[in-house]
Structure 1
Amino acid sequence: MRPRWVFTLAFAAFFLISAAWALALPVNGTYDEKHHIVRAYAVAAGHWLPDGPASDGTTFGSEGFDVPASLLPGNVDCAVGAKRRGPASCQTPVAGGQLVRTPSAAARYSPVYYLPVGLPLLAMPDGTGILIARLVSALMSALLLAAAATTAVRLGNRVLVAAVALVATPMAMNLGGSVNPNGLEISAGVLLFVALSALLNGPVTRRLLVLAGVAAAILLTVRQLGPVLLAVDVAACAVVAGRARLTALARSRSARSILGGCTALGVVLAGAWLAVSGGADAAFVPQRVVHGDLAPHIVTDRVPFYVRQVVGQFGYGETTLSPYAICLWYLLCLAVVVPALVRGGRRLRLTIAGLGVFCLAMLVALDWHFAPLSGWFSHGRYAMPTGVGIVLLAALARPVRRPHWLPAALVVATLPVHLYALARVMTRFSSGMDASLNPFAGGWHPAGGAVTPLLVAVLGFVALAAVGWITQRSAYASPGTVLGEPDNGCVTPIGQSASRDTKASTTDAASL
């Protein structure tokens, strides 16, 4: 099958799975969505800086925007949070186009993500506009994930295709299908690791340069932690590839112009916005300040929370998947990582361990800093744009003896966890926290009914399973790119003649 069909299937898979979440969730049904909705509408309306002080009685957000009253339902917070266990039927639609000052904890976030997502809200400032905005967000994330999967297939690396599916956790799909830039940021991290690793360990093509450049620019501009995560991601890929391969890439004129240009553009945009906005520092919130010794709480409460959320802790943290489902997902990841640790080179092992240490240290440091000022801050999802590299770099290790059916089996094994996660969260919002698993019962249902998001998810799962099957049966893929080889100065040729480079880039562009 041609690469363009692989891309189409992969895009359909990731978009439909995220779209299922977009259809299934009530407004503000996932982390901070109401704040991002207000921010997206304001950016689309041309209000890039806050209109003034605002508060809704909670401890989140001290600045806000003048938005239509219909943008958010009444009692928007009634179904989320640790103390709220009822269904989402408590939300009530609000009519009227009068402007009301509404707070947003994202009031000074970069407008890059919010502009395309906010356009539907500008046209329809209500539940319908929010659904379309979610689908726009899902589309952007799916494009990046599909490009990563297609690149993996082009490399002939079946395990890497499975790794892309594994790092697209239910949490990542949930965020991708909501109004929240974190989903796009995670997808950009996935694409950056795949495209940059391919560039550092094989021929340079314009397609790979553009993909890596776009991913880098997104990481630099959509969230505040992005520049730090980008630097760590690039450093990890460079360390594993080795000095000779890094030098060869740096000597490529097209790499300097395309990859360097995209990165420079991202730096300029991020720097300009920081100068204009003044940053988005967390405010002092006395009600949420944590007193006493932080270390025991971080070890016993926060670290397990980071680990659970990477796979599936939804809503505002009150809805968690079964520990068995979370453990199953991590076991699937270990099926990729452990062989790489055993058979990979020393640099690869150190890099994988270093990425894990960095992610944990970053989250702990943020909590340690902010807990005495504004309460617990860190979420496991914040580290995912870098944490995904643990699985992706492991998949790019030197060939390891694995059953030929294992990559496809890993992809298929993720599907029941995705479906269970969706059904579990739907049940929580339809019947309340304490209800038994049944998304069709209860007093609240999505606008299209409970069947619609589940059916859309199943279609996405079928497309994802097809990608796994194609990867196993693929006859056109080249020998897989590998990492972790000894750096003895004999590197994979990384430069190409102008004619070959042009031909490759033309073929690649046609496929996407």
Structure 2
Amino acid sequence: MPHPRRVFLLAFAAFFLMSASWALALPVNGTYDEKHHVVRAYAVVTGHWLPDGPASDGTTFGSEGFDVPASLLPGNVNCAVGEKNRGPADCQTPTGSRETVRVPSAAARYSPVYYLPVGLPLLVSPDGTGVVLARLVSALVSALLLAAAVATAVRLRSRLLVAGVALVATPMAMNLNGSVNPNGIEIAAGVLLFVALSALLRGVVTRRLLVLTGIAAALLLTVRQLGPVLLAVDVAACALLAGRGRVVELWRSRSARAILGGFGLVGVVVVVAWMAGSGGADTGAIPERGIGGDLAGRILSDRVPFYLRQVVGQFGYGEVTISPAAIGLWYLLLAAVVVPALVRSGWRLRLVVAGLLAFCAALLVALDWHFAPLSGWFAHGRYALPTAVGVVLLTALYRRGDGPRWLALALVVATVPVHLYALARAITRFSGGLDASLNPFAGPWQPAGGAAVPLLVAVVGLSALVGVSLVTERGRIVDPGTVSGELDNGSVTPVERSAKTGTRASTTETTSH
């Protein structure tokens, strides 16, 4: 296999450029709740960690707000999002005024962890330019996490796991990475956690991997409210698949206890301190604006299909959809990884996959069931992605062999047209209106520099992603469970010892689970 460092740099370029293409393509507030997160980011970097007072824009979310420059968001910022607003984004009216105005934010009491780095460009340029730069900071952090996951997959010498990381980096994930929204980094942290923690539990124990696992866990804990629950489920899934012996062996390492425990402790302290100091996250739910009637029937008929579509690509505020054929193709690519692994696996992998899917479904349904009567539909499929990605990543890792040498490359190549189509469709929506035929180059609104700029950036990024798969395609496939690793000061792990002697360590489990 190629050197992980070179793969890391190439993967970083790929994921950063793919996310950056979305950052450059959309108007302010062109994706879910971005206006709320922009206001929150500016407030955090200017020292306003708690709301300045009550505020409302007439919607069902956001009852508190911050005093920010009028230039931070364009006038009529909502005019081109939502099913009812079908026109192009030229309806927005940017202003250069730095007059202070009170603006509501549904994220008014969210943890400041994500917003501190992302908000820095807004401190210098509190306007549309600053929003784009803030998006690029978010894209950079997410790309670092995803590239680290790819490099770890290379250390495990699994081409299919490399492809798995590319498959869970759906157009929706790239859209979120390239926006001001903590959900993108949360998803990327979930990807890294599954890959890095699995590597540790497979016997590849290095300080680098311990730190990466700790960073991923700390981010999951702190960037969004659901993070602690998602983290617990992700860790439980990895531990159950690895088996008790490998979990115990990892915990015997002083370095593992110190590094993982240290990051975990910091994350818990931040969460507890923020909850105590902020009074918890306020959803801003407004009574008597909820949904009644047959909730169970509507969730089954309307919401579940929405969850599934959004995982791949449903943009804007849910009104920008891509072809069902494109979404179906993506799920077929996922099935090419998951189904053969489940057919050939033991009960343990099947149990974990079923548990992850059941948890994700239950989480989304429970959120809608609770909030729909209060303020309307609440859950999004993207909320479950930090855990749902484990279905693909764990089956890719625990599958017996990587399949044909061409499979991983073919899976990655097949994602390219879907990524480009999704980006072009989103640009078309904002340039020509919701009902416009696919043509990102027409319409009264265009991204800065024209639609060709983000599309070209996406092409370069996707080319780099294919390049990652090309340079790993030549690698020799081995059972990841026999890869040697370093524990503490380089002492030999039971896995390494068994690999040298040709016997299986007593603390390991077969890869067919």
CA contact 1:44–1:122 (8 Å) conserved in 2: yes
Aligned counterparts of 1:340 and 1:136: Cα–Cα separation in 2: 37
Aligned counterparts of 1:289 and 1:208: Cα–Cα separation in 2: 46
Corresponding residue number in structure 2 for 1:451:
452
Q: How does 1:141-156 map to 2 (within 5 A)?
A: 141-156=142-157
Corresponding residue number in structure 2 for 1:479:
478
Total equivalences in the alignment: 492
CA contact 2:326–2:418 (8 Å) conserved in 1: yes
- Matched to 2:474, the amino acid is R
Corresponding residue number in structure 1 for 2:412:
411
* Other structure's SS at 1:29 match: coil
- Matched to 1:12, the amino acid is A
Deviations 1:157-194 (A, max 9, x none): 00000000000000000000000000000000000000
Return the offset for 1:500.
5.3
* Other structure's SS at 2:113 match: helix
* Other structure's SS at 1:195 match: helix
Aligned counterparts of 1:319 and 1:288: Cα–Cα separation in 2: 24
Corresponding residue number in structure 2 for 1:263:
264
TM-score (norm 2): 0.94
* Other structure's SS at 1:66 match: strand
- Matched to 2:150, the amino acid is A
- Matched to 1:350, the amino acid is L
Aligned counterparts of 1:384 and 1:398: Cα–Cα separation in 2: 21
- Matched to 1:473, the amino acid is R
Return the offset for 1:103.
0.3
Unpaired runs of 5+ in structure 1?
A: 483-490, 502-512
Corresponding residue number in structure 2 for 1:496:
487
Aligned counterparts of 1:269 and 1:75: Cα–Cα separation in 2: 36
Aligned counterparts of 1:122 and 1:419: Cα–Cα separation in 2: 32
Deviations 1:367-396 (A, max 9, x none): 111111121110000000000000000001
Corresponding residue number in structure 1 for 2:347:
346
Return the offset for 1:76.
0.2
Aligned counterparts of 1:398 and 1:317: Cα–Cα separation in 2: 35
CA contact 2:160–2:402 (8 Å) conserved in 1: no
> Deviating runs (4+, > 6 A) in structure 1?
491-495
Corresponding residue number in structure 2 for 1:42:
43
The 10-residue stretch of structure 1 (281-290 or 76-85) with the greater mean CA deviation from structure 2 = 281-290
1:27 aligned onto 2:28:
yes
CA contact 1:59–1:287 (8 Å) conserved in 2: no
Corresponding residue number in structure 2 for 1:207:
208
Aligned counterparts of 1:67 and 1:376: Cα–Cα separation in 2: 29
Aligned counterparts of 1:26 and 1:288: Cα–Cα separation in 2: 29
Return the offset for 1:447.
1.1
Aligned counterparts of 1:436 and 1:378: Cα–Cα separation in 2: 29
Return the offset for 1:285.
1.8
Corresponding residue number in structure 2 for 1:460:
461
Corresponding residue number in structure 1 for 2:321:
320
Return the offset for 1:479.
2.4
Counterparts in 2 of 1:68 and 1:401: CA distance versus 1, 3 Å: closer
The 10-residue stretch of structure 1 (280-289 or 5-14) with the greater mean CA deviation from structure 2 = 280-289
CA contact 2:108–2:282 (8 Å) conserved in 1: no
Aligned counterparts of 1:354 and 1:121: Cα–Cα separation in 2: 41
Return the offset for 1:480.
4.0
Q: How does 1:96-245 map to 2 (within 5 A)?
A: 96-245=97-246
Counterparts in 2 of 1:210 and 1:401: CA distance versus 1, 3 Å: closer
Aligned counterparts of 2:373 and 2:236: Cα–Cα separation in 1: 32
Corresponding residue number in structure 2 for 1:88:
89
* Other structure's SS at 1:220 match: helix
Corresponding residue number in structure 2 for 1:485:
none
Return the offset for 1:497.
6.1
Deviations 1:9-61 (A, max 9, x none): 10000000000000000000000000000000000000000000011222220
CA contact 2:310–2:381 (8 Å) conserved in 1: yes
CA contact 1:288–1:375 (8 Å) conserved in 2: yes
Corresponding residue number in structure 1 for 2:501:
none
Corresponding residue number in structure 1 for 2:9:
8
Return the offset for 1:82.
1.5
CA contact 1:201–1:494 (8 Å) conserved in 2: no
CA contact 1:248–1:495 (8 Å) conserved in 2: no
- Matched to 1:379, the amino acid is H
Counterparts in 2 of 1:80 and 1:64: CA distance versus 1, 3 Å: same
Return the offset for 1:496.
3.2
Cα RMSD after superposing both structures:
1.5
Return the offset for 1:95.
1.8
Task: State, as a whole percentage, how many aligned pairs show the same letter.
Answer: 73
* Other structure's SS at 1:396 match: helix
Aligned counterparts of 2:306 and 2:359: Cα–Cα separation in 1: 17
* Other structure's SS at 1:64 match: strand
Aligned counterparts of 2:157 and 2:119: Cα–Cα separation in 1: 38
Unpaired runs of 5+ in structure 2?
A: 493-513
- Matched to 1:9, the amino acid is L
Counterparts in 2 of 1:118 and 1:497: CA distance versus 1, 3 Å: closer
Aligned counterparts of 1:499 and 1:242: Cα–Cα separation in 2: 23
CA contact 2:158–2:397 (8 Å) conserved in 1: yes
CA contact 1:339–1:400 (8 Å) conserved in 2: no
Aligned counterparts of 1:4 and 1:158: Cα–Cα separation in 2: 16
CA contact 1:249–1:495 (8 Å) conserved in 2: no
Aligned counterparts of 1:81 and 1:457: Cα–Cα separation in 2: 25
Counterparts in 2 of 1:492 and 1:468: CA distance versus 1, 3 Å: closer
